[in-house]
Structure 1
Amino acid sequence: MAEQIPLVDYLVLDEGDPHLVAQECTSCGARFFDRRNACAGCFATEFTSVPIATEGTVRAFTIVTFAAPGIPVPFVASVVDCDGTHVRANLVNVAPDPEHVHTGMKVRLATYPIGSDSNGTQAVGFGFEPAA
């Protein structure tokens, strides 16, 4: 199998099942997916890495019908509550219409190939798909 690399630093592919990892403030518990020098909530500077639940509930979404050239539309941009951590991600493997997507919808993390380089290394992205 070709080598795989995550599209974002907080997607973990090499420790069993794919999952997301956040940086959690050791003082107030706020979680962030990007690198931080200080917590936006309490200004503390110590963080620890914590795994994020791979299942969640759609809290908000929009069906995007206009995008930059080359971006296929329509698609569903969403905010998913993963056991208290809000994750911004697209919904995948679901029709992008109000008959198939709704707030309160149960979803699970899904990964998919984005493309490969000339050496065959595959970039992998993530989204959320309807839970069975």
Structure 2
Amino acid sequence: MAGQIPLVDYLILDDGEPHLMARECINCGARFFDRRNACASCFSTDFTPVRVATEGTVRTFTIVSFAAPGIPTPFVASVVDCDGTPVRANLVNVEPDPEHIRDGMKVRLTTYPIGTDSEGTEAIGFGFEPAA
């Protein structure tokens, strides 16, 4: 196999345990996963990379029943609080029904293969699964 690449640039695979990295505003501490020219909270332009906790708590979720063609449904979209950093991600390895999911549920980061290109490079995505 040619190797693995993360689906998003803030998913770190080659640093021991897979984890997410956010950009933290040096002035106010707000965290962002996307590229920023300035902080949306205080307009500072100084950021530092910070590792995000790999365990968290489901703060809200929805069970998606209709999606774009080719996207399997149902799936669970959620916002997970990872020690103060909100992370939008799907919940995986759990039945997509309200009997198995609840606000306040403890979850942990997990990765999974999404596909492989013609050269054998595997794309890796992330989600959160129930913590044991």
TM-score, normalized by length of structure 1? 0.99
> Does residue 23 of structure 2 align to residue 19 of structure 1?
no
Structure 1 counterpart of 2:43: 43
Distance 2:80 2:103 in 1: 9
Identity %: 80
| 2:70 paired residue number | 70
Distance in 1 between the 2:68 and 2:118 partners? 26
Q: Which runs of 4+ in 1 moved over 6 A?
A: none
CA shift, 1:11, in A, is 0.2
Which secondary structure state, in structure 2, belongs to the residue aligned with residue 43 of structure 1?
Answer: coil
The residue identity in structure 1 corresponding to 2:61 is F
- Matched with 1:4 is 4
Give unpaired runs (5+ residues) of structure 1. Answer: none
Superposition pairs for residues 75-86 of structure 1, below 5 Å? 75-86=75-86
Distance in 2 (CA, whole Å) between partners of 1:39 and 1:22 is: 13
Helix, strand or coil at the partner of 2:56: strand
Letter of the 2:128 counterpart: F
Structure 1: distance between partners of 2:71 and 2:42: 38
Alignment-derived partner of residue 90 in structure 1 = 90
Structure 2, gaps ≥5 residues long = none
SS at match of 1:124: strand
Q: Tell me how far apart the structure 2 counterparts of residues 2 and 113 of structure 1 sit (CA, whole Å).
A: 14
Q: Secondary structure at the match of 1:123?
A: strand
For normalisation by structure 2, the TM-score amounts to 0.99
Root-mean-square deviation over aligned CA pairs = 0.6
Aligned residues: 132
What amino acid is aligned across from residue 71 of structure 1 in structure 2? I
3-state DSSP class of the match of 1:99? coil
In the aligned structure 2, how far is the partner of 1:87 from the partner of 1:2? 30
